[in-house]
Amino acid sequence: MALINCPECSKSISDQSAACPSCGFPTARAVPPTLQQADLTNNNSLENRRQRQKNSGCSGATIFLIIIIVLIGFWLVSAYDGYTEKARQYNEVQSEPDKESPQVQESVFDSPLTQIPMLLSGSGEDGRYFLISHFTSYDIENIKYARRGNESDAYGEMQIDCTNNKIRKTSSANLEALISADLGDWYTPTPDWTDQDIVNFICSTKRVVSKNIEHHEIVEKVVALEAPRNEVVEKVTLEQFKPEPVISVEARPREVLLSNDPSGSEKEYKVRETPIETKEPYNEKVVNKAADDKKERDIARRKSDDRAICEQAIKVNSAYLGKDDPEYSQWKAIERANCMQDKLYE
């Protein structure tokens, strides 16, 4: 017989004892093997259940994270595909002008163009240059032109300062490229080259147009005017002045014949008269209309003043008459008519 320690109180007991004499805890000998195996099985199943619950929680979180990652990846792929499609469409739109530029360039020569004569650069260049467009902005001539070549055509854009004989320009084999081209710095064109021929053609055309605008024929006119101060009627001989957008306020010389000269004879006098500021040409029609307008304004002002004087006089005189007098109304009407007849005139 051997001694063992009690699992509960740790006292020495016989291994043959069914229970501890001190605390009564059953020994291993007293516990059936089936019960021990059942307890062990229960403990193992409890641990397995806990482990499965823990594993299921981890697997749920993992699945959720995987779903989030898949959604993010799908969104990124869709965004990239959309960006790629937009980039492809943009490249196609940008490439369309280059594809259509030969047709555009051919249509330039299909339409009638003004030929630029090449007088200084020689017969080899004459007949090759054509004016496409031309406009003036801030006294600078802006032109586009085309050069017809044997194998290929060229296009140019030029700005011309006709006053200082300065230009700046650029050229290209593609007409559409001139839209964003840099013209560079201003310089004086070579006297015997095509640039000077273009300058001479554009600037001479501008001078001819200006000359036609400034040219005027002298026409003798006799106009009756009302003098502004002494009410003397003058016979005025004036020149048909050149048309201008707005007549300058600077005085212009005019020939005047005074009909009431003190000596009794007519003499010529040089007078300086400030012209009427108007947007119309300074001619007979404008002068007559201005004089008529002034006369009408003066008459209207005098009528208004005289009418006020008459009304005031009637009010003063009516104080001496009784308003119940049957002759009052008749007298008032006659008095007003007489007063206005004396005051008003044309």
pLDDT tens digits for range 7-23: 778 788 877 777 888 88
Report, as an integer, the average pLDDT of 210-233. Answer: 42
Which comes out higher in pLDDT, residue 165 or 247?
Answer: 165
Q: Give the pLDDT confidence score for residue 275 in this predicted structure.
A: 52
How open is the CA angle 266-270-272, to the nearest 5 degrees? 130
Give residue 290's pLDDT band: very low, low, confident or very high (50, 70, 90). confident
Percent of the chain with pLDDT over 70: 52
Q: Give the pLDDT confidence score for residue 242 in this predicted structure.
A: 42
CA dist 341 and 60 (Å) reads: 115
Q: In this model, does residue 212 exceed pLDDT 70?
A: no
Q: Give the pLDDT confidence score for residue 29 in this predicted structure.
A: 61
Give residue 148's pLDDT band: very low, low, confident or very high (50, 70, 90). confident
Give residue 322's pLDDT band: very low, low, confident or very high (50, 70, 90). low
Q: In this model, does residue 271 exceed pLDDT 60?
A: no
Q: In this model, does residue 333 exceed pLDDT 50?
A: yes
Alpha-helix residue ranges (DSSP H) falling in the chain:
33-110, 194-214, 284-318, 328-343
Tokens of 186: 């201003």
Q: In this model, does residue 244 exceed pLDDT 70?
A: no
Q: Give the pLDDT confidence score for residue 270 in this predicted structure.
A: 43
Report, as an integer, the average pLDDT of 193-202. Answer: 88
Q: Give the pLDDT confidence score for residue 266 in this predicted structure.
A: 41
Q: In this model, does residue 27 exceed pLDDT 80?
A: no
Please check whether residue 292 is in contact with residue 279, taking contact to mean a CB–CB distance below 8 angstroms.
Answer: no
List Cα–Cα distances, 72 to 64, 79, 80, 82, in angstroms: 13, 11, 12, 15
Its pTM surpasses 0.85: no
Q: Which helix (H) or strand (E) holds 233?
A: strand 233-238
CA dist 239 and 226 (Å) reads: 19
Per mean pLDDT, which range of 117-126, 197-206, 222-231, 314-323 is the poorest?
222-231
Q: In this model, does residue 256 exceed pLDDT 60?
A: no
Q: Give the pLDDT confidence score for residue 241 in this predicted structure.
A: 40
Residue type, 12: S
Taking the CA atoms of 134, 204, 137 and 276 in sequence, report the sign of the dihedral they define: negative
pLDDT in tens, 77-127: 888 888 888 888 877 766 554 444 444 455 566 677 888 888 887 777 877
Please check whether residue 244 is in contact with residue 214, taking contact to mean a CB–CB distance below 8 angstroms.
Answer: no
List Cα–Cα distances, 35 to 18, 23, 38, 136, 211, in angstroms: 15, 21, 5, 115, 131
Q: In this model, does residue 245 exceed pLDDT 50?
A: no
Q: How confident is the prediction for the chain on average, in pLDDT? A: 69
Q: Give the pLDDT confidence score for residue 268 in this predicted structure.
A: 42
